[in-house]
Amino acid sequence: MNDSRAVIAALLRKQIPERMGVNEHFWPFIRENAWAAQGMPDQVSFEEYFDLDLASAHWYSPPGPRPDLVATLEEKAEWKMTRGAWGDITKTWLAKAGTPEHVGFAVTAETWRREFREAFLAIDPTTGVDFAEIKANADRIRDRGRFLTYSFMFVFEWARKVVGDVVMLESLLLEPEFIHDFNRVFTDKFLQFYQRLFAEVGLPDGIHWYEDLGYTQSAFCSPACHRELILPYHREIVGFFKSHGLPVIMHTCGDFRPHLPAIVEAGVDCIQAMEAKTGMNVVELARDWKDKLCFMGNLDVRASRRRCWTRCGA
């Protein structure tokens, strides 16, 4: 069993294939800012170049509610500062790879209700989506025998993106009704979009979603908080995908071990990336979760040699 699609499908069923799967996710601008000068071809995908087993045909981001806010606020030779359709301000590098710096945010519980919520509700979640292009991407991935996924960030990540870590974490404790409403509105948008995508393009082999629940020292919130405010929406979106027979891979950075029971309860099949530098260890995780989860990653990025693979915890 060397076919990429079959290898990943077996791993997600908690079976041991003839070889482990190979996968990595790259920030797109690493090619133009670094690897092109080192010889990586311009028109070759990361999946083709590194012979990866997984490939995503589409990354979904719902349209922002306030396009009137979008603007470039400042630009220098090395970076630029922009404002998005949520009023969020970010500073990004122009000549090298790196995570954006979050400078400011406009959404709070009050402004959500007054300035953003109704505008977001009114937006068609498929605005700007080219279904023909997604289908062409999906057909290309399938023709090459790779495991086809659709990808997105979900409610916790979107709250961090548009509300900001400080206000979002404070709101988890002080304004749970705001968090519930935010998550409800976003979940409905995602359900609407994927119903339409499945109808227009068809089903993938699985879902690869992104939801960073932790940082280097710990999880961002307590398990009790997660269960009350996040798990209901995780369970709902995963349940929707499972109703279509799709396995679900969940990416989350940081140390998210306190949330593993809820992640399993939500129906997730595989966790990634299990950052070694946060103290996560796949051998220890497998002792408790090998019958319930597949494991992807757990490489130490501090090591000089880097490689990423998918492995089952059996």
Whose CA is closest to 100, among 111, 89, 91? 91
More confident position, 56 or 304: 56
Weakest mean pLDDT among 35-39, 158-162, 220-224: 35-39
What average pLDDT does range 232-261 have in this prediction?
A: 97
Q: How confident is the model at residue 2 (pLDDT cuts 50, 70, 90)?
A: low
Q: How confident is the model at residue 68 (pLDDT cuts 50, 70, 90)?
A: very high
| Torsion angle of C-alpha atoms 180, 181, 184, 187, degrees rounded to 10 | -100
Percent of the chain exceeding pLDDT 70 equals: 95
Contacts of 63 (CB under 8 A, 6+ apart): 85, 123, 124, 125, 127, 128
- pLDDT for 299 equals 80
Q: Is residue 109 part of a domain?
A: no
Q: Is residue 37 part of a domain?
A: yes
Q: Is residue 73 part of a domain?
A: no
Q: Is the pLDDT of residue 309 over 50?
A: no
Q: Is residue 31 part of a domain?
A: yes
CATH code of 130's domain: 3.20.20.210
Q: Is residue 189 part of a domain?
A: yes
- pLDDT for 38 equals 86
Q: Is residue 98 part of a domain?
A: no
Domain, as residue range, for 203: 4-63+124-312
3-state secondary structure of 151: strand
What average pLDDT does range 150-175 have in this prediction?
A: 95
Q: Is the pLDDT of residue 1 over 60?
A: no
Q: Is residue 77 part of a domain?
A: no
Q: Is residue 100 part of a domain?
A: no
Structurally, how many domains does the chain consist of? 1
10 Å CB burial of residue 88 (0-12, 13-18, 19+) is buried
Q: Is the pLDDT of residue 103 over 80?
A: yes
Question: What is the pTM for the complete model shown?
Answer: 0.91
